[in-house]
Chains A and B, each alone.
Chain A
């Protein structure tokens, strides 16, 4: 399995185009933020010191959540390609079990998701600081690292389940572009959660990736938010948090951190199980 794991990593990173395309959604969101989304949201907020840094942290947190799922999806492309080009036959004829072959794809996709998220974190932090924000505190950094791992785990399980249905490259690339287009909405980045109709809000609140975004926002924005809302009434901050998807409310009650963590972990376990079922069902 180690050999396959390393091979999958090499195949993914060697193909510069596929790396680029798995980051395309992230780049588009970031460009839109730089061009106008950022200014638009900041103009809607009270003119307090540190607003810019707070919103920069907000967008980077969202981008981290998006990077994780789109790169995991891109990494799973190797598996679909191998099936389409029959490369899988070469593995099947070797004394390695099918379970280990699948595990090799999953492990490498997880690791690719983590590597790309870390890269995104570095770029994001450099961006925040270059625009006058502050570095993450060591505690916040550790929490973010933990969240990156958890989010990659959850996304690997999710994508693995989805990919277990695909045999053709066409189906896969369609699904990838669909994900790339929708993920910005599903995580409440193109349009903050608070602006969406309630039905859409509900979809966002059950989408595991938005919980990764939520937890990342809470962690990365804690310090900048404290600075911005230092002298303001608590209700003002709460309204902002609810509007921008820093805290989700369900049935009038704020969802706890534990709930979001449980959703991420639950998704990982359930979808991992489902994908194993689906992969074994496909076997002749």
Chain B
């Protein structure tokens, strides 16, 4: 397995607040890796450290073979970063922005022109290259940010909450661009998010909470181990239904007018349905979602 990022024992505190308390993880080359966690969990701190902007208090970090703290310039050349805030110059056009940032990577002349063209095409910003960055919509700004991050054809693309604050449709299209980019170019993508449906699309997910890793795995693994499937029953005879379930020792909860029974496998629903079919007028079988997994992991819903 080719590990492009390796982190061991990463620690960072701000005063007495422990932002990150000893993280160990690695990222496989070419994969889409998601860091899922509520605000204040330590996601941005971790990204800032990996991008060489913030010095960790302890731990080892290897990015594309470069050791953090010793070969920072090597790391910087190998990465592209999309920060949570929009950090391009509002009064300059998208093209001017990308060109000036390209200059930071020791590019000039034809190489620079080609890099700008390539990055613009990859992030799909060619249409509004000449418009001032400050006048763009949220989604367009985000695309411009991504184009800027791709200017040095990085090995790893870091994105800190790339879709936060965008409307659902734009969020989806930005997300799809990132996914396409990773799949077509083999770029490693490391992103943080607090949207479950995005984490569910990643190749590998680490759930981070209070600066610690709470769970890790592929979305399927996480769902399998932390989310349970559900059988929702719409009762025709509520009283009889409950009595029957209690009789059989099946735990249930009541939600939104229906009775919910947790089941370990969707197939188990058949048995229960056979038992209660005289007392229900309808049913639903739901497989576990990332939301359920998250609640299963942290014991609460995600803080927005």
Partners in one complex: yes
* A interface residues with partner B (beta carbon < 8 Å): 2-4, 6-7, 10-11, 14-15, 85-87, 89-96, 284
| Contact of B105 (CB < 8 Å), options: A86, A87, A95 | A95
Q: Determine the interface band of chain B, counting residues with CB < 8 A from chain A.
A: 20 to 34
Question: Are the CB atoms of A6 and B87 closer together than 8 Å?
Answer: no
Question: Are the CB atoms of A7 and B89 closer together than 8 Å?
Answer: yes
Complex contacts, A93 vs chain B, CB 8 Å: 51-53, 76, 79, 81
Complex contacts, A91 vs chain B, CB 8 Å: 104
Question: Are the CB atoms of A86 and B83 closer together than 8 Å?
Answer: yes
CA distance A3 to B96 in the complex (A): 10
Asked if B106 lies at the interface with its beta carbon under 8 angstroms from chain A, I say yes
Shortest Cβ distance from residue B135 to the other chain A in the assembled complex, whole angstroms? 13
Complex contacts, B100 vs chain A, CB 8 Å: 3-4, 6-7, 10
Shortest Cβ distance from residue B21 to the other chain A in the assembled complex, whole angstroms? 20
CA distance A95 to B71 in the complex (A): 11
User: Which residue of chain A is the closest to B47 with respect to CB atoms?
Assistant: A93
Interface string of B76-120 (1 = CB under 8 A from A): 110101010101110110001001111111100000000000000
- Which among A15, A92, A93 has the greatest number of chain B C-beta atoms within 10 A? A93
User: Which residue of chain A is the closest to B73 with respect to CB atoms?
Assistant: A95
List 20 additional contacts besides A7-B92, A10-B96, A96-B104; criterion CB under 8 Å.
A2-B103, A3-B104, A4-B100, A4-B103, A4-B104, A6-B100, A7-B100, A7-B103, A14-B92, A85-B87, A89-B83, A90-B101, A92-B53, A93-B53, A93-B79, A93-B81, A94-B105, A95-B73, A95-B76, A95-B105
Question: Are the CB atoms of A11 and B91 closer together than 8 Å?
Answer: yes
Asked if B55 lies at the interface with its beta carbon under 8 angstroms from chain A, I say yes
A89 and B87 contact, Cβ closer than 8 Å, known pairs A94-B76, A95-B76: yes
Interface string of B37-79 (1 = CB under 8 A from A): 0000000000010011101000000000000000001001101
User: Which residue of chain B is the closest to A100 with respect to CB atoms?
Assistant: B104
A284 and B55 contact, Cβ closer than 8 Å, known pairs A2-B103, A94-B76: yes
Complex contacts, A2 vs chain B, CB 8 Å: 103
Complex contacts, A85 vs chain B, CB 8 Å: 85, 87
- Which among A7, A90, A284 has the greatest number of chain B C-beta atoms within 10 A? A90
Question: Are the CB atoms of B87 and A86 closer together than 8 Å?
Answer: yes
| Contact of B104 (CB < 8 Å), options: A10, A15, A86, A94 | A94
Complex contacts, A96 vs chain B, CB 8 Å: 104
* A-B pairs with beta carbons under 8 Å apart, 22 shown: A3-B99, A3-B101, A6-B100, A6-B103, A7-B92, A10-B96, A11-B89, A11-B91, A11-B92, A14-B92, A86-B85, A86-B87, A90-B87, A93-B51, A94-B76, A94-B101, A94-B104, A95-B73, A95-B76, A95-B77, A95-B105, A95-B106
CA distance A118 to B52 in the complex (A): 41
